[in-house]
Structure 1
Amino acid sequence: MANSRVQKSAPVCLIENGEDGQLQVIPEALDVLRHIEQPVVVVAVVGLYRTGKSYLMNKLAGKTQGFSLGSTIQSHTKGIWMWCVPHPTKPDLTLVLLDTEGLGDVEKGDEKNDNWIFALAVLLSSTLVYNSTGTINNNAVQQLHYVTELTEHIKVKSQTDEEDESNEFARFFPSFVWTVRDFTLDLVIDGQQVTADEYLDNSLKLKPGHNKSSQQYNLPRECIRNYFPTRKCFVFTRPTTPENMKRMEELSDSDLEPAFVQQARDFSNHTFAHAQTKTMKGGYTVTGRMLGSLAEAYVKAIRSGQIPCLDNAVLALAQIENNRALDDAISYYLQEMEQWVAYPTETQEELSDLHSRFEKEAVKIFMDKSFKDDDQKFQLKLMESLQKKYQSICERNEKESRKVCESIIMNQFEVLEEKVKDGIYMTTGGYEEYKRDLQDFISRYKEVPSKGIKADEVLKDYLQSKEDIGKAVLAADKSLTEAQRRMEEEQARTEAAERENRAIREQQHVLQQQMEDQERTYRENMEQLLVKMEEDRKNAMQEQEKVIEARLKEQKDLLQQGFNDRAQQMENEISRLREEAQPKSRSWFSNVLETVGNVATLFLPGIAGKALGIGSSLISRFF
């Protein structure tokens, strides 16, 4: 999406409660996202109503107005509102800001809706900002009870056998930022100055014991620590006087407390520098268009009474995006071939080179836009489709060549045809004149450029159709002896055989080139497939290593707090994660290539019997 289009955008409602009380995605917002082809950084803010969430989002957008701030005790934001703006420091990304409906609105009194809004903010964002006021005390932590209920509103796998999936959340959940507004205390713990991050970590310490009170105290803290391993905290002083708070949208930075202005700047700078690109399970990067599809998938599940499932969302999105990638790749190939192929091409190599050039780019387009094509179903469709398109282009090239050649023959041999018709050659010595004229017209025909790949075949067919005329002229020439006639007949047969052989060699050359094209098609697809598979493997490993690193930090913290039993449980989980992070073997890649090769031979007969060898050589190169 061009930056100009993003800059013209304004906040739009992404998800709202419809007249039927059900959540629904707004088409206008989907249309905005549909035009964003860039990867997106998605920052969502959640928190109790009337805590100043919208102000933070406006600051990230670089505006004082946009998301409604309101000046009364009523909640202004309803549902989830979205603002797409150019990323201020990373031009290849788009910043998507999500401002959510205030949680705990007494007028609304719908806790179920609050839970879904919170869950959707978690599912759609790459950075989740939780906004509260005052201090991070036990009451503030307990107010974040929505996090303890996420297991009831988010599933990771479609088939779980009722097992607890909460340990998987850390792998896919956004980074967590707690912003504390109207903070009036000193950041001091046990007489020592601390950072806001240390203040948050201290507030999330667990209480020893197994009684009900300890469990209630620990539950939200354990959820925050386990689900959101990447955590950050910012504290903000009161921005201005209570009277001025009612007109925050009208105030500039010079009207606000300098400390607050600097704190807001620090928050924005951290977000711009550290907020990550939105990814899905498996480490797949999300574009704006894909974010819209995710929102639709999650809301559809909620409306149908189901729990949004990460696996199902990825599979549904993969189906959409892979079909789109397939269409885009084929459209590109056809468009470029139509533009660059001048029918008929002089040689098959000329057509083959263009095919190779645009096929390679088409495969790259598909690879860049597709994901989770685990069984290579869509890639095989691409190979088959491009082969059929190329075959059709080759057939058109042959037809155009034949048409051009027949037109040249009609023009070049017109005089010969007229002389035959007028009986000029049916005289004594006429055969020699006929032969001389015929060779002259054949030479002229061969000198005409741009006849294409059917030049010899069309000439052979034409001369073959005129053999009876040559025999009649030869028989009518009384100047020749019987021996001379036999010699002329033998020479005519020899020349005809040579023309037949040239036409056969011409066709064999074309077929050989097309078979080489099929082999190259397979090789090109497999090379790019291996690159993509390796990239996907590395992304998955990075995703896993990030969780392992967070779990090691959590384990160290538990040991320091004396929770040895929980630290041991964490060790078991770390061991499992490390085992899952082991790279896949060469045999796994070999099996994939062998499977693709076996299927590809159905529509690429030129690689029959060679696929396994090609696959093995590629495996050796890449791994």
Structure 2
Amino acid sequence: MASEIHMPDPVCLIENRDKTFFVHPEALKLLSGIHQPVVVVAIVGLYRTGKSYLMNKLAGKNSGFPLGSTVQANTKGIWMWCLPYPGRPDQTLVLLDTEGLGDVEKGDPQNDSWIFALAVLLSSTLVYNSMGIIDQHAMDQLHYVTELTERIKSKSPTENLEAEEDSAEYVRFFPTFIWAVRDFSLQLVLNGQPCTEDEYLENALKLKKGNSCENQAFNLPRKCVQFFFPTRKCFLFDRPTNQKNLHRLEEMEESELEAKFVQQVRQFCHHVYETSNPKTIPGGHIVNGRLLATLVATYVDTIRSGGVPCMENAVLALAQMENSAAVLEATGRYMELMDQKLKLPMETLQELLGIHAKCEDEALQVFMARAFKDDQQQFQAELMQVLDEKKKAYCKQNKLESSKRCKALLKRLSQDLEDRINKAFYTRPGGYQDYCNDLKTVIERYHQESGKGVMAEAEGEQFFKDREAVGRAILQSDEALTEKEKEAEDARARAEAAERENEIQKQKQAEREQKLEDQKRSYEANIEYLKEKMEKDREKLLEELNKMLENKLWEQKVLRQAGCPKCIDHLYKQIDQLREEIDKLKQRHVFSERVEAASVILRLVLEKALARLSKES
């Protein structure tokens, strides 16, 4: 489905006012209306470094995010532009242009750190924009990355509050990193040999050997970039035009700009479009606009209250909200489909249960597509119970509609019979046989009619019961029959009534068995979807753990090359633990055990339903 988002201009998502962040409700409302996965590209960097120009180009525009033309920073807070993703009709591109860091008028480094942290938390691709070259000065300006563990927590605090968080945990949800260097004027040469932009970046990120204070200060920002952002890319941009024309960059056509700069911008945009992935949270769950809006509100509320955003807590809060909404959405879809497909009254219970099974299956798909981290199957069990109650309601409604139609039909077909009874037409010699013949005619015509539904036999039997007294009275008044004949006729009528009652009981027993089978089928369907969901979650977790392991091994290699053997001692245990966890996760019997443990709650729901059905019998 093509993206339905239409934003002609950017809007303010997070306002930075009086050193306090505020979320704009209108922007959240726009985000919440996006049901597609979102690819979030955020840009950060010092003020007046041309960040907004790159973001406008990613939007396919020359203008939009304000460029500004003075030494004052123009963007305050974080601005958002949601657009259809180029070449991906099933995704939405969300561009975030952030307030320039290091604004001398603002003079609040802590505020800048929060802007940087929010950009990291919200994006799937992070662009860091700087000027000139990547040297020590540029690294010093990137001190925000060294403060990330103070601004973002991957897990909620434990008893060991002093323990440092593992950088690999951040890799699970941190964005890919692009360093955009503007107005680059050097030759791309290393050790006398031409090099690529990425080689230039990696060379700038090399660590110095030794543990001196000077080396530690030198290495810290480089280590953070390497360990927090293992997926990196570098783009170098020439100056777009001469100094005197920079203030009118927004108005200039590409033909008026330096050709090399235009080509570099195109390559940058192409790379972002081709490589950027949808925003995900730990566990691999893909974020849509609604979830992103919730994350924005959660993070800003936490920061404003003096807390530190914690990804684990945010994910748990999201899961509670999304899983509750998933139950409602799945239930709504089930009822929508049932109302479309059910033509009450249904002829048989089996037919109704067949439609129910198909609608329940689609409802389960809706639930599984939206729900995540339902580790105790609390919400899936709730959905099972809700759909069971809805099924009971439809069965009850089906019976009511069937009874209503059968009664109306019998009333119409027996009108002549009732008139004759009221006029004492059968109170005469031979009247009983005429009464029996007329009653038989009514029932035969009744059985010939279609569309009566599941209560056809029961209502037919009730019709007979309602006239038993009348029949006996007519029989006793018929002077053409001897007493012995009357007794025989009465016995025959009772035998037929008993036989009809026996058929009704057989039908009820058959319906109970059908309901029991449907209940078991529902449970099995839930288990199959649970297995499928857990298998997908297992694959996502394996992917994350392998990514973490790869990052740890890379970290170990970098530290070893930097001559820091003491620094890597703690990595051995972490690497071993990761390998053990990966190996355990790959074992099928472990997966089966987890499925079995997870199905306990669903089995309790089944047993409760079966007990109720047994009690009804």
TM-score class, shorter: over 0.9
Output the CA distance in 2 between the equivalents of 1:232 and 1:558: 21
Kindly provide the amino acid, as one letter, of the partner of residue 11 in structure 1.
P
Question: Compared with structure 1, are the counterparts of its residues 105 and 311 closer, same or farther at alpha carbon in structure 2 (3 Å cutoff)?
Answer: same
Partner of residue 14, structure 1 = 13
**Residue 589 (1) aligns with residue 595 (2):** yes
For residues 221-300 of structure 1, what are the structure 2 equivalents within 5 Å? 221-300=222-301
Counterpart of 1:246 in 2: which secondary structure? helix
Question: Compared with structure 1, are the counterparts of its residues 607 and 461 closer, same or farther at alpha carbon in structure 2 (3 Å cutoff)?
Answer: closer
Partner of residue 70, structure 1 = 68
CA contact (8 A) 1:387 1:604 kept: no
For residues 171-570 of structure 1, what are the structure 2 equivalents within 5 Å? 171-567=172-568, 569-570=570-571
Partner of residue 580, structure 1 = 581
Kindly provide the amino acid, as one letter, of the partner of residue 595 in structure 2.
F
Counterpart of 1:585 in 2: which secondary structure? helix
Partner of residue 44, structure 2 = 46
* The 10-residue stretch of structure 1 (118-127 or 405-414) with the greater mean CA deviation from structure 2: 405-414
Query: In the TM superposition, what is the alpha-carbon distance from 1:607 to its structure 2 partner?
Result: 9.4
Counterpart of 2:170 in 1: which secondary structure? helix
* The 10-residue stretch of structure 1 (22-31 or 480-489) with the greater mean CA deviation from structure 2: 480-489
Aligned residues: 606
Query: In the TM superposition, what is the alpha-carbon distance from 1:462 to its structure 2 partner?
Result: 1.8
Query: In the TM superposition, what is the alpha-carbon distance from 1:347 to its structure 2 partner?
Result: 1.0
Counterpart of 1:372 in 2: which secondary structure? coil
Query: In the TM superposition, what is the alpha-carbon distance from 1:267 to its structure 2 partner?
Result: 0.9
Query: In the TM superposition, what is the alpha-carbon distance from 1:133 to its structure 2 partner?
Result: 0.5
For residues 92-107 of structure 1, what are the structure 2 equivalents within 5 Å? 92-107=90-105
Partner of residue 111, structure 1 = 109
> Structure 2, unaligned stretches of length 5 or more?
none
Query: In the TM superposition, what is the alpha-carbon distance from 1:508 to its structure 2 partner?
Result: 2.2
CA contact (8 A) 1:42 1:277 kept: yes
* The 10-residue stretch of structure 1 (126-135 or 546-555) with the greater mean CA deviation from structure 2: 546-555
Kindly provide the amino acid, as one letter, of the partner of residue 602 in structure 1.
K
CA contact (8 A) 1:23 1:303 kept: yes
Output the CA distance in 1 between the equivalents of 2:475 and 2:318: 75
CA contact (8 A) 1:519 1:607 kept: no
Query: In the TM superposition, what is the alpha-carbon distance from 1:604 to its structure 2 partner?
Result: 4.9
TM-score normalised over the length of structure 1: 0.94
Stretches of 4+ moved more than 6 A in 1? none
CA contact (8 A) 1:412 1:444 kept: yes
* The 10-residue stretch of structure 1 (293-302 or 162-171) with the greater mean CA deviation from structure 2: 162-171
Output the CA distance in 2 between the equivalents of 1:248 and 1:22: 32
CA contact (8 A) 2:209 2:561 kept: no
Counterpart of 1:95 in 2: which secondary structure? strand
Question: Which of the numbers 137, 140, 148 marks the counterpart of 1:142?
Answer: 140
Output the CA distance in 2 between the equivalents of 1:285 and 1:111: 32
Partner of residue 82, structure 1 = 80
* The 10-residue stretch of structure 1 (359-368 or 201-210) with the greater mean CA deviation from structure 2: 201-210
Kindly provide the amino acid, as one letter, of the partner of residue 597 in structure 1.
R
Kindly provide the amino acid, as one letter, of the partner of residue 54 in structure 1.
S
CA contact (8 A) 1:49 1:75 kept: yes
Kindly provide the amino acid, as one letter, of the partner of residue 341 in structure 2.
W
Partner of residue 598, structure 1 = 604
Kindly provide the amino acid, as one letter, of the partner of residue 153 in structure 2.
K
Output the CA distance in 1 between the equivalents of 2:405 and 2:337: 23
Output the CA distance in 2 between the equivalents of 1:604 and 1:297: 42
Partner of residue 35, structure 1 = 33
Q: Residues 454-505 of structure 1, C-alpha deviation per residue, up to 9 Å, x if partnerless?
A: 1111111121121111111111112222332222112101110111112222
Output the CA distance in 1 between the equivalents of 2:311 and 2:426: 85
Output the CA distance in 1 between the equivalents of 2:551 and 2:558: 11
* The 10-residue stretch of structure 1 (131-140 or 485-494) with the greater mean CA deviation from structure 2: 485-494
Question: Compared with structure 1, are the counterparts of its residues 607 and 519 closer, same or farther at alpha carbon in structure 2 (3 Å cutoff)?
Answer: farther
CA contact (8 A) 2:7 2:81 kept: no
Counterpart of 2:280 in 1: which secondary structure? coil
Output the CA distance in 2 between the equivalents of 1:18 and 1:511: 66
Coordinate RMSD, CA, aligned: 1.7
Query: In the TM superposition, what is the alpha-carbon distance from 1:166 to its structure 2 partner?
Result: 4.0
CA contact (8 A) 1:38 1:92 kept: yes
Query: In the TM superposition, what is the alpha-carbon distance from 1:223 to its structure 2 partner?
Result: 1.1
Question: Compared with structure 1, are the counterparts of its residues 559 and 193 closer, same or farther at alpha carbon in structure 2 (3 Å cutoff)?
Answer: farther
Output the CA distance in 2 between the equivalents of 1:533 and 1:242: 58
TM-score normalised over the length of structure 2: 0.95
Counterpart of 2:250 in 1: which secondary structure? helix
Kindly provide the amino acid, as one letter, of the partner of residue 40 in structure 1.
V
Identity of aligned residues (%): 49
Output the CA distance in 2 between the equivalents of 1:580 and 1:63: 47
For residues 135-174 of structure 1, what are the structure 2 equivalents within 5 Å? 135-160=133-158, 161-162=160-161, 163-167=163-167, 168-174=169-175
CA contact (8 A) 2:334 2:363 kept: yes
Counterpart of 1:131 in 2: which secondary structure? strand
Question: Compared with structure 1, are the counterparts of its residues 604 and 146 closer, same or farther at alpha carbon in structure 2 (3 Å cutoff)?
Answer: farther
Counterpart of 2:388 in 1: which secondary structure? helix
CA contact (8 A) 1:297 1:313 kept: yes
Output the CA distance in 2 between the equivalents of 1:116 and 1:548: 29
Question: Compared with structure 1, are the counterparts of its residues 545 and 507 closer, same or farther at alpha carbon in structure 2 (3 Å cutoff)?
Answer: same
Query: In the TM superposition, what is the alpha-carbon distance from 1:421 to its structure 2 partner?
Result: 1.5
Counterpart of 1:77 in 2: which secondary structure? coil
* The 10-residue stretch of structure 1 (332-341 or 92-101) with the greater mean CA deviation from structure 2: 332-341
Query: In the TM superposition, what is the alpha-carbon distance from 1:554 to its structure 2 partner?
Result: 3.8
Query: In the TM superposition, what is the alpha-carbon distance from 1:271 to its structure 2 partner?
Result: 0.7
Partner of residue 121, structure 1 = 119
Q: Residues 131-184 of structure 1, C-alpha deviation per residue, up to 9 Å, x if partnerless?
A: 000110011011111111111111111133322114221222111111111000
Output the CA distance in 2 between the equivalents of 1:263 and 1:604: 67
* The 10-residue stretch of structure 1 (541-550 or 34-43) with the greater mean CA deviation from structure 2: 541-550
Output the CA distance in 2 between the equivalents of 1:604 and 1:285: 37
Output the CA distance in 1 between the equivalents of 2:535 and 2:448: 53
Counterpart of 1:441 in 2: which secondary structure? helix
Output the CA distance in 1 between the equivalents of 2:85 and 2:613: 47
CA contact (8 A) 1:151 1:166 kept: no
Query: In the TM superposition, what is the alpha-carbon distance from 1:566 to its structure 2 partner?
Result: 4.0
> Structure 1, unaligned stretches of length 5 or more?
609-623
Query: In the TM superposition, what is the alpha-carbon distance from 1:48 to its structure 2 partner?
Result: 0.5
Output the CA distance in 2 between the equivalents of 1:119 and 1:600: 47
Output the CA distance in 1 between the equivalents of 2:241 and 2:574: 48
Output the CA distance in 2 between the equivalents of 1:432 and 1:171: 86
Output the CA distance in 2 between the equivalents of 1:407 and 1:514: 28
Kindly provide the amino acid, as one letter, of the partner of residue 53 in structure 1.
K
Counterpart of 1:146 in 2: which secondary structure? helix
* The 10-residue stretch of structure 1 (313-322 or 476-485) with the greater mean CA deviation from structure 2: 476-485
Counterpart of 1:250 in 2: which secondary structure? coil
Counterpart of 1:602 in 2: which secondary structure? helix
